[in-house]
Amino acid sequence: MRERVIKVLEELQPEWEHLLSQWIQIPSVVGSGVERQMQLKVARAFRELGVDVEVWEPSLLPELPWHPDYVLPARAVLPEIPVVTGYRRGRGRGRSLVLNGHVDVVPVDDQPWTYDPWNPIRDGDRLYGRGSLDMKAGLVAMWAVCAALRELNLSLQGDLIIQSVADEEETGNHTLACCLKGIRGDGTAYLEPAAADMGLVRGAAPVLLVSSRGAQFFRVTVEAPADGGVEYQRELVNPIGPLMHLYHAVERYSDMREAQVTDPLYADHATKLPAAVCRVYAGNWPSTIPRTAVMEGTIECLPGERIDEVMDQFERYLNTAAAAHPWLKDHPPRIERFGLRYESAATPVDDVFVRTAAQSLQRVYHQSPWVTGGGGNDLRHTVRHAKSPSVIFGPDGGHIHGTDEWVSLSSLAKTVAALFDLVVSWCGVDGGDKGWATNG
């Protein structure tokens, strides 16, 4: 049977490569409204495989925007984009599995691409295009597994559940909505590009993420009594100087936090615990002293920490730094929390679902996966609110969110094989045995 599985997966590769190219051509930038078109394409593709598909609006859940883990979108008005869920019903004698992927992609920046980001081009093993790696390749892997199950006429013992969401890049509210709607599995796999997404390098070994850091955006504003022309420089307080004092305090705080990392899931990461200013702005004219200066950034926390408690600590640290400054001590900064807010979450590394996923990856890659921690991701919702052990793995590639994004097609083929192995190992198959290993 193993030889037949391998043959079917190989025969399906031209089909899923073509499907991936078609999906990349749809510019489903988050918040653009085009995600709806992409979701309908996904729904149709899975329906054609005999999957029982439901297309539904998250706005039908009145409790969603009041949930403590709901993230307020950056835009005041967003187009209503549906969630797509699909069911390949099992015989009722096995464990259920959710496969989660997202259709939304980040915008294309102003830097020129070597290839048109919306017209995918293959160059050797690489397929270039926005969303090729993050993460339409993962959605295609989900489709390929369902296609292989149909081609092999295999009946699963447990339910296989597809979730296609459209706001992962900005809020993650769609996955939260799935949890609130009661859509859950005994395990959940996200087909994100784990290694590339985290900037992790571990040779040829696959990466298996089992956690999500928490995160919170912050804004610090320093306001002077007045603004004015540069001719009044000696009479005015330029808030940029005091703001830079606080900027350096954030850097010291980041160093302090980094030194406190003890979680083994993050011990080998180059950046274990991000805490940084990523945006600074002040004034609107080169010869006018501004009245306000602002910096914005993000603070993250480890599994087991609460993001609100970490932010309380961060604000105390900045206020202490301000009290030591000759001007800020009498003119304290305004510190705000805004936008993105994630709680942390983790699946224990000894959980049976983690072990099963690791075994599937090992059978395909012939190497034990690196089981490690991830950044902020939707895994937090299924762990916290669906009580579903969750993991993340996916294909390799490069330039996620950047110019000339690409996915390795040979790596994607291995992802398909590993995912197929996980599905049949976790859900079980009628008449199945231990010969399902899809060695690549």
Percent of the chain's residues with pLDDT above 70: 95
Q: Tell me, what's the pLDDT at 76? A: 56
Q: Tell me, what's the pLDDT at 127? A: 97
Residues 37 and 126 in one domain: yes
**Is residue 433, in this structure, part of any structural domain at all?**
no
Instruction: Report the b/e string of 39-50 with b at 16+ CB within 10 A.
Output: bebbbebbeebe
Q: Tell me, what's the pLDDT at 197? A: 52
Q: Tell me, what's the pLDDT at 198? A: 52
**Is residue 391, in this structure, part of any structural domain at all?**
yes
| Domain that residue 138 falls in | 2-212+345-427
Residues 277 and 141 in one domain: no
Residues 230 and 295 in one domain: yes
Residues 6 or more apart whose CB falls under 8 angstroms from that of 361 comprise: 206, 208, 369, 393, 418
**Is residue 437, in this structure, part of any structural domain at all?**
no
Residues 25 and 63 in one domain: yes
Residues 51 and 155 in one domain: yes
Residues 19 and 131 in one domain: yes
Residues 337 and 236 in one domain: yes
Smallest Cα–Cα separation from 302: which of 274, 340, 268? 274
Q: How far apart are CA 359 and CA 202, in angstroms?
A: 18
Residues 141 and 283 in one domain: no
**Is residue 434, in this structure, part of any structural domain at all?**
no
pTM above 0.95? no
**Is residue 435, in this structure, part of any structural domain at all?**
no
What's 258's domain CATH number? 3.30.70.360
Q: Tell me, what's the pLDDT at 434? A: 46
Q: Tell me, what's the pLDDT at 439? A: 47
Q: Tell me, what's the pLDDT at 92? A: 86
Residues 197 and 69 in one domain: yes
**Is residue 439, in this structure, part of any structural domain at all?**
no
What's 87's domain CATH number? 3.40.630.10
**Is residue 40, in this structure, part of any structural domain at all?**
yes
For residue range 29-77, what is the model confidence (pLDDT) as tens digits? 999 999 999 999 999 999 999 999 999 999 889 999 999 999 988 765 5
271 C-beta neighbours (distance < 10 Å), count = 15
- Joined together, the tokens standing for residue 179 give 């949890």
**Is residue 432, in this structure, part of any structural domain at all?**
no
- Joined together, the tokens standing for residue 315 give 């604000």
Residues 300 and 251 in one domain: yes
If DSSP states are collapsed to H, E and C, what string results for the chain?
Answer: CHHHHHHHHHHHHHHHHHHHHHHHCCCCECCCCCHHHHHHHHHHHHHCCCCEEEEECHHHCCCHHHCCCCCCCCCCCCCCCCEEEEEECCCCCCCCEEEEEECCECCCCCCCCCCCCCCCEEECCEEECCCHHHHHHHHHHHHHHHHHHHHCCCCECCCEEEEEECCCCCCCHHHHHHHHCCCCCCEEEECCCHHHHHCCCECECCEEEEEECEEEEEEEEEECCCCEEHHHCCCCCCCHHHHHHHHHHHHHHHHHHHHCCCCHHHCCCCCCCCEEEEEEEECCCCCEECCEEEEEEEEEECCCCCHHHHHHHHHHHHHHHHHCCCCCCCCCCEEEEEEEEECCEECCCCCHHHHHHHHHHHHHHCCCCEEEEECCCCHHHHHHCCCCCEEECCCCEECCCCCCCEEEHHHHHHHHHHHHHHHHHHHCECCCCCCCCCCC
User: End of a domain among 342, 362, 380?
Assistant: 342
* Cβ atoms of 305 and 221 closer than 8 Å: no
Q: Tell me, what's the pLDDT at 115? A: 92
> pLDDT per position in the chain (440 positions), as tens?
788 999 999 999 999 999 999 999 999 999 999 999 999 999 999 999 999 999 999 988 999 999 999 998 876 556 789 999 999 999 988 999 999 999 999 999 777 999 999 999 999 999 999 999 999 999 999 999 999 999 999 999 999 999 999 999 989 999 999 999 999 999 999 999 987 655 555 556 899 999 999 999 999 999 999 999 999 999 999 999 999 999 999 999 999 999 987 899 998 888 999 999 999 999 999 999 999 999 999 999 999 999 999 999 999 999 999 999 999 999 999 999 998 899 999 999 999 999 999 999 999 999 999 999 999 999 999 999 999 999 999 999 999 999 999 999 999 999 999 999 999 999 999 865 445 555 44
Question: How many domains in the chain?
Answer: 2
Return the sign of the alpha-carbon dihedral for residues 242, 244, 246, 249. Answer: negative
Residues 156 and 225 in one domain: no
User: End of a domain among 342, 370, 393?
Assistant: 342
Residues 175 and 286 in one domain: no
